[in-house]
Amino acid sequence: MKALSGRWRGMIGGGAGLTLLTEWSPMTSHMARAFSQVEQDVLALTNQERARLLRTLIRELDAPVDSGVEEAWMAESERRLAQAEDGSATLYAADEVLKEARARLK
C-alpha cells in the first residue's frame, strides 16, 4: 500500500468513520452479535435493574467530554496519514493483520 484511499480520509475526518465500520464485515458481524447478546441480557433484567442500568448509561453519556482528547486524536490521525502518504510508515493489509491476530489467539 502506498497511500491511504479516500475511505480512510473520511474516517479521519470524523463522522464518516461509522460508514467505514459498516464496510468491514468481520467487525460489523462481531459487533452485531455482541449487541444482540447485550440486548438479550438487558431484556432479562427486572424493570428495576433496567432502570438502574439506564440511569448509569445516561450519566455516562452526559459526562463532560475532554476536548483535549479529541484534539490529540485528530493530531495523531493527521500525523499517521502524513506518514502513510510520504511512505515513512509501514502499512499492512487488514486481512493480513486479522489473519495473524487470529493465529496468535489460537
Instruction: Assess whether pLDDT exceeds 60 at residue 56.
Output: yes
Express each pLDDT in 89-102 by its tens digit. Answer: 988 899 999 999 99
Q: What percent of the chain has pLDDT over 70?
A: 72
The CB density around residue 70, as the number of other CB atoms within 10 Å, is: 11
Query: Which ranges of the chain would DSSP assign to H, the alpha helix?
Result: 6-13, 16-23, 25-43, 47-61, 67-86, 94-105
Task: Specify whether the backbone of 66 is left (phi greater than 0), alpha (psi in -120 to 50) or beta.
Answer: beta
Provide the total of helices (H) and of strands (E) in the chain, helices listed first. Answer: 6, 0
pTM over 0.75, yes/no:
no
pLDDT at position 7 is 42
The answer to whether 31 and 20 have CB atoms below 8 angstroms apart is no
Express each pLDDT in 65-79 by its tens digit. Answer: 777 888 898 999 999
